[in-house]
């Protein structure tokens, strides 16, 4: 089924690769509920929804596409859902309504993945804007980590200032950040996860972490299935002016997932020239997972770059992905343990900061010598953390890019679809909630 001999691998290697990938990305089952909790989503709901979407997407990737690539709710997209869609609406949009936008985005993704259009959309978006989006999300995520931990706090004149470095939560965060950085530079697989464990141990002995009476329990969904009717979800999108939000979900996931898949496939030597075999099946994995995840209560999914850790130790087939999915399912029975860990911001904040630093490295790929290319990317990077809105950053970048090209005399070099995006985003900023 997995054609192990054809890919010059074996069961032992694939299982080890799966375990490695899981350890590098398991932090998401802690971090995701922490971020979505700010939107009001119950912990148990997000915890299990995270695992369900990860298991569905990763199993699909392993069984149908035969790639060693894991799928889970994407970092940045969870922040977008919480801080831009829900909190910035000032009570107009609750998390249940917001999941309608995720659900519709997922269904659109499924449709796009079944057609050549998804590949086309990837091709027409300027590379510099893609890099700007990745870097901007990274900066935003890092800022969230700094804020949650108390390393920075609100200031009436300067917006933010340095927090109290002598407080117990901040000291714990600094310890967690330092130990995770050391593990990362030593190239320890699962550095983020082990950093969390080390920080959790210190938090326990300093009285900042307290465990419930039990560490295991049967998984549950307090809210049940949140959204399932496409017609009702679509009505919510238009009623609450969430069209721009749906498009933002689509764009971010589109770039993130496709780029990650290609990168990991290249690392594993699975590309055939510039083409990715079984691309349709692979692209369907994240779109199906996003749709399923929205039904149960989590933000959009994407392919995880942490999959490269599993590839580095020999993972070459879908058996690696199946192993990851099985481990996620096992993790579903440790909800109380994860809940206790997620209650201490210092445990998760270092992971956010470090993931942010990895994502912002995309700035090196921006063509800074071409002002008409660089400035829209710069605006995306700048406005995402300053407005606490990933969508606003994307919208401003996509409006500025074709505008500058017009005045440079290169209007014909811009794909017509980009002008359509620019018009939609301008309408969103001027007339719809954002």
Domain presence at residue 377: no
DSSP string, 385-420: HHHT-HHHHHHHHHHHHHHHHHHTT-GGGS-HHHHH
Q: Is residue 182 part of a domain?
A: yes
Q: Kindly state whether residue 3 falls inside one of the protein's structural domains.
A: no
How far apart are alpha carbons 281 and 171 in whole angstroms? 46
State yes or no: pLDDT of 345 exceeds 80: yes
Integer Cα distance of 403 and 151 in angstroms: 39
Structure tokens at 162: 């340095």
Ranges 13-17, 55-59, 391-395, most confident:
55-59
In a domain, 389, yes or no: no
Domain that holds residue 332: 11-360
Residue 412 falls inside a structural domain = no
- Min mean pLDDT across 4-13, 15-24, 81-90 is at 15-24
- Whether 373 maps to a domain, the answer reads no
Give domain status of residue 405, yes or no.
no
Structural domain count of the chain: 1
Q: Is the pLDDT of residue 122 over 70?
A: no
Per-residue DSSP letter, 74:
P
Q: Is residue 411 part of a domain?
A: no
Which pLDDT tens digit goes with each residue over 124-174?
778 898 888 888 878 888 898 898 889 999 888 888 899 999 999 999 999
Query: Which residues, in sequence order, are CB contacts of 286 under 8 Å at separation 6+?
Result: 57, 71, 109, 253, 257, 301, 302, 303
Please indicate, yes or no, whether the overall pTM of this predicted structure exceeds 0.85: no
Average pLDDT, the chain: 88
Mean pLDDT of 379-393: 85
- pLDDT at res. 352: 82
């Amino acid at each position: 089924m997995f054609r192990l001999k054809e890919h010059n691998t074996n069961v032992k290697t694939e299982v080890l690769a799966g375990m490695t990938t899981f350890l590098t990305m398991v932090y998401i089952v802690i971090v995701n509920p922490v971020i979505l909790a700010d939107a009001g989503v119950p912990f148990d709901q997000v915890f299990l929804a995270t695992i369900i979407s990860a298991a569905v997407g990763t199993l699909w990737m392993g069984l149908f596409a035969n790639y060693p690539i894991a799928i889970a709710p994407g970092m940045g997209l969870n922040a977008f859902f919480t801080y831009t869609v829900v909190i910035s609406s000032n009570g107009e949009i609750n998390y249940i309504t917001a999941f309608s936008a995720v659900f519709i985005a997922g269904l659109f993704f499924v449709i796009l993945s079944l057609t050549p259009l998804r590949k086309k959309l990837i091709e027409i978006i300027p590379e510099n804007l893609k890099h700007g989006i990745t870097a901007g999300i990274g900066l935003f995520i890092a800022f969230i980590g700094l804020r949650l931990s108390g390393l920075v706090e609100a200031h009436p004149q300067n917006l933010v200032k340095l927090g109290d470095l002598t407080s117990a939560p901040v000291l714990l965060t600094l310890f967690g950040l330092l130990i995770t950085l050391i593990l990362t530079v030593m190239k320890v697989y699962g550095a983020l996860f082990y950093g969390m464990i080390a920080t959790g141990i210190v938090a326990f002995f300093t009285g900042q972490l307290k465990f419930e009476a039990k560490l295991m329990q049967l998984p549950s969904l307090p809210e049940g299935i949140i959204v399932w009717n496409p017609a009702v979800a679509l009505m919510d999108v238009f009623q609450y002016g969430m069209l721009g939000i749906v498009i933002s979900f689509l764009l971010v996931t589109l770039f993130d997932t496709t780029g990650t898949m290609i990168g990991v496939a290249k690392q594993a030597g699975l590309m055939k020239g510039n083409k990715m075999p079984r691309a349709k099946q692979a692209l369907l994995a994240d779109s199906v997972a996003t749709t399923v995840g929205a039904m149960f209560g989590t933000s959009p999914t994407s392919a995880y770059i942490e999959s490269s850790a599993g590839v580095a130790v020999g993972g070459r087939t879908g058996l690696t992905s199946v192993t990851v999915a099985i481990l996620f399912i096992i993790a579903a029975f440790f909800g109380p343990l994860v809940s206790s860990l997620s209650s201490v911001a210092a445990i998760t904040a270092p992971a956010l900061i470090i993931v942010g630093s990895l994502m912002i490295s995309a700035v090196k790929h921006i063509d800074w010598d071409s002002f008409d290319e660089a400035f829209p990317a710069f605006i995306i990077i700048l406005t995402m953390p300053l407005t606490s809105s990933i969508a606003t950053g994307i919208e401003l970048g996509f409006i500025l890019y074709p505008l500058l090209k017009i005045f440079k005399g290169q209007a014909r070099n811009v794909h017509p679809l980009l002008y359509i995006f620019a018009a939609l985003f301008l309408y969103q900023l001027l007339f719809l909630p954002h």
